[in-house]
Chain A
Amino acid sequence: MDLDPRQYEHIVVNEKDTHNIVLSYLVHNCFKQTVESFITSTGMKQPANCLDDMDKRKRIISFALDGNALKAIELTDQLAPDLLEKNKDLHFDLLSLHFVELVCSRKCTEALEFAQKRLTPFGKVQKYVEKLEDFIALLAYEEPEKSPMFHLLSLDYRQQIADNLNQAILAHANLPSHSSLERLIRQTAVVRQFLNQEASKDGFQLFP
């Protein structure tokens, strides 16, 4: 069974839907200026403080990406007071980012004290203990970048935490934590996989 390309053309796409999809992507990633000009060009309506909040969120996320976790935490508390309490995992991860900063700046004694004061209170819960073991191991090396735990110092890791923080803030404001564009792409990928599997049972591949 070959899918007729003309079938695509029979589906009607609503322009409003397209605009919403693009807008949701831009908002998610805090592209404030692009959002402003997009809204103007398309004549869409937007809630009042959407742009303000986006600004604040953008600052928070960039502090987190830079490794300035304490500032990110402070601003998050201002923007969404009980968010970190409700997201203990995230709180722990942010604090550990600060720990990593201290280690990278070779302020090891400070790092040790910080860990004792702020990280150990997370208590005896197994997953925090395991994470803490990994982080504290960084202190055993003169050159942590060359240690087996070097991935904790990487930009990729900070990016992951920053993404988590972004999603948490959005969710807290009752906005979707993932952009529609992202969800659409994921959905399409899953559907393709499934259909290919089904078709290959008959010996075909629909989407080569």
Chain B
Amino acid sequence: MPMESGYSTMLGAKGLIRKTEFVRIIIQCLYSLGYEKSASCLESESSVSYKWKDFEVLESHILDANWEDSISTLNQIKGLTDEMRSSALFLVFKQCLFECLCHGDYSMALSLLQKQVSHLKVGREKVHGLAFDMLSAKVMGNDAINENGVSELRERLLVELERLLPPPIILPERRLEHLVETAVASQIDSCMYHNSMSAVSLYEDHSCDRDQIPTQTVQILFDHKNEVWFVQFSNNGEYLASSSSDCTAIIWKVLEDGKFTVKHTLSSHQKPVSFVAWSPDDKMLLTCGNVEVIKLWDVETGICRRTFGDHGFAISSCAWFPDSKRIVCGSSDPEKGICMWDCDGNEIRAWRGMRMPKVLDLAVTADGNNLITVLSDKEIRILNVVSNVERVISEEHSITSLSVSSDGKFFVVNLNSQEIHMWDVDGKWQKPMKYTGHKQHKYVIRSCFGGLSSTFIASGSENSEVYIWNRRCSEPIKILSGHSMTVNCVSWNPRKPQMLASASDDHTVRIWGPGRSQR
């Protein structure tokens, strides 16, 4: 029931909305949707007029070329800053001046320019510009001064004034639409499971149920013969690579129906394969042997193109630069440090030194600007490779792994204190966002970003479960059961926001998808 408050009736359960404002934006909405009859009918029924009284007066003065009255109306309008008022006056004077020139009344035009416009606080350039325009006004000749030409210009002046003047005199365009969209966007933001692009109904407050995110095992891949340590989807989401302590890596193809088949088994390593990395163009795959060599494979043919290093090379992780031509590797051997190579094995740049600790993990942001490294064992270094500016974050517990979001703005690290910390790459945050619930003491457990707009974080866990969080909340929103041993690594398909893969010590890779009702 509307409450009275002084002169204005208030609406809304909390009495925060002024009835006249509410009706006015509805009228604006009707006009903008093309329902002119309804709009003017509402104006008369509600006695709320869409146009502001002062502006209506100004409008009629301008269309009739009553310049003096236009100026005095403008000067009387309340609620304008000096700057706005000067700019509006300038626009009106400009039109008036132009019309004087069209009638050949040069002395009037000059007098306006010198006595009025010059004294407006609109900046020298505008005034000088207007003087310059006077030259071309005459040159244009008498063609422009037919009736149509002039009234069209007056209409244009009104449009410009509408753009300039603030509420409540002029309403921002499509105000009602904007308010509704803001409310809907806010509901989407608070929706914990939101993972799709489809439109949201206005009839009910929006909230997704958990069927938007992966919750069920869709397929189990048994092809590895030992613990599976690493999985990662390709950047285009069409392939999955997994690597195992059975010394092989497998490239899987993701079929149209979401099923996985083996494309290639890459078996040439002599030691367990601890890490793989897709080139940004998805044509090549790097595999890292555990304290062994790195191999570069062609994805299409499955042939090993090149082998880097020799035994004892001790590369812990590697990453690609966006041009798919340069690789950077981090070593757990302090003498090797961090190296950047091209695909032919030529060293481009290196960071080494006496005080270089072991590199536990590293990543490059998608734009190639930042190199993030995890150093033994509590330090994160973010190096901007362009400006060479470096930032260091010190954690209080040992870090086991690092993962960067696809927009390159955030990264997560897993700590063996059973916490996952998310930091921003730019370094504006004083503290990280924290996520808990999973188990991690002894092993390297990896996490990743996923879902539409990377709103989710998934992680493996030592209790054989997969954990999923919404970034906004530190408690998990879903725990996936199915594996029988430690889940080492997870990867979320970057193109299919409802597909998640996990790698476990139980020799399998599991593919997860939304609940049955969604399929």
Binding site for B on A (CB under 8 A): 108-109, 112-113, 115-116, 119-120, 132-133, 136-142, 148
- Asked if B138 and A140 make an inter-chain contact with CB atoms under 8 angstroms apart, the answer reads no
- Asked if A142 and B114 make an inter-chain contact with CB atoms under 8 angstroms apart, the answer reads yes
- Asked if B118 and A132 make an inter-chain contact with CB atoms under 8 angstroms apart, the answer reads no
Q: How far is the CB of B469 from chain A (nearest CB, A)?
A: 61
- Asked if B139 and A116 make an inter-chain contact with CB atoms under 8 angstroms apart, the answer reads yes
User: Could you say which residues of chain A place their CB within 8 Å of the CB of B127?
Assistant: 137, 140
Interface presence of B158 (CB below 8 A): no
CA distance A148 to B125 in the complex (A): 11
Interface presence of B283 (CB below 8 A): no
- Asked if B107 and A139 make an inter-chain contact with CB atoms under 8 angstroms apart, the answer reads no
Across chains A and B, the number of contacting residue pairs, with CB separation under 8 Å, is 54
User: Could you say which residues of chain B place their CB within 8 Å of the CB of A109?
Assistant: 106-107, 110
User: Could you say which residues of chain B place their CB within 8 Å of the CB of A115?
Assistant: 135
CA distance A40 to B138 in the complex (A): 59
User: Could you say which residues of chain B place their CB within 8 Å of the CB of A142?
Assistant: 114-115, 118
CA distance A137 to B135 in the complex (A): 11
Within 8 A of A (CB), among B227-247: none
Contact code string B93-129 (vs A, CB < 8 Å = 1, else 0): 0000000000000110010011101100000100110
User: Could you say which residues of chain B place their CB within 8 Å of the CB of A119?
Assistant: 135
User: Could you say which residues of chain A place their CB within 8 Å of the CB of B170?
Assistant: none
A133-B132, A140-B128 known; A113 and B106 CB under 8 Å? yes
CA distance A207 to B128 in the complex (A): 49
Which chain B residue shows the least CB distance to A120?
A: B135
Which chain B residue shows the least CB distance to A129?
A: B132
The B interface, classified by DSSP as helix, strand, loop or mixed, is helix
- Asked if A136 and B139 make an inter-chain contact with CB atoms under 8 angstroms apart, the answer reads no
Out of A138, A139, A141, A148, name the residue touching B134 (CB < 8 Å).
A139
- Asked if B138 and A116 make an inter-chain contact with CB atoms under 8 angstroms apart, the answer reads yes
- Asked if A133 and B110 make an inter-chain contact with CB atoms under 8 angstroms apart, the answer reads no
Q: How far is the CB of A138 from chain B (nearest CB, A)?
A: 8
Which of A119, A138, A139 neighbours the largest number of chain B CB atoms within 10 Å of its CB? A139
Instruction: Apart from A112-B134, A132-B135, A136-B128, list 14 A-B contacts with CB within 8 A.
Output: A109-B107, A112-B106, A113-B106, A113-B138, A119-B135, A120-B135, A120-B136, A132-B132, A138-B131, A139-B110, A139-B114, A140-B113, A140-B130, A140-B131
- Asked if A136 and B134 make an inter-chain contact with CB atoms under 8 angstroms apart, the answer reads yes
Could you list 16 A-B pairs, sorted by A, with CB under 8 Å? A108-B110, A108-B114, A112-B110, A112-B134, A116-B139, A136-B131, A136-B134, A137-B127, A138-B131, A139-B113, A140-B113, A140-B118, A140-B130, A141-B114, A141-B118, A142-B118
Which chain A residue shows the least CB distance to B114?
A: A142
CA distance A119 to B136 in the complex (A): 12
Q: How far is the CB of A119 from chain B (nearest CB, A)?
A: 8
- Asked if B107 and A133 make an inter-chain contact with CB atoms under 8 angstroms apart, the answer reads no
CA distance A141 to B124 in the complex (A): 11
CA distance A132 to B131 in the complex (A): 10
User: Could you say which residues of chain A place their CB within 8 Å of the CB of B134?
Assistant: 112, 136, 139
Nearest 7 pairs of A and B residues by beta carbon: A137-B128, A109-B106, A142-B114, A140-B131, A136-B131, A108-B110, A116-B138
User: Could you say which residues of chain A place their CB within 8 Å of the CB of B131?
Assistant: 136-140
User: Could you say which residues of chain A place their CB within 8 Å of the CB of B115?
Assistant: 142
Q: How far is the CB of B73 from chain A (nearest CB, A)?
A: 25
Which chain B residue shows the least CB distance to A149?
A: B128
Q: How far is the CB of B181 from chain A (nearest CB, A)?
A: 45
User: Could you say which residues of chain B place their CB within 8 Å of the CB of A132?
Assistant: 132, 135
Which chain A residue shows the least CB distance to B133?
A: A136
- Asked if B132 and A137 make an inter-chain contact with CB atoms under 8 angstroms apart, the answer reads yes
CA distance A141 to B136 in the complex (A): 19
Contact code string B125-161 (vs A, CB < 8 Å = 1, else 0): 0011011101110110000000000000000000000
User: Could you say which residues of chain A place their CB within 8 Å of the CB of B114?
Assistant: 108, 139-142
Q: How far is the CB of A155 from chain B (nearest CB, A)?
A: 24
CA distance A139 to B128 in the complex (A): 9
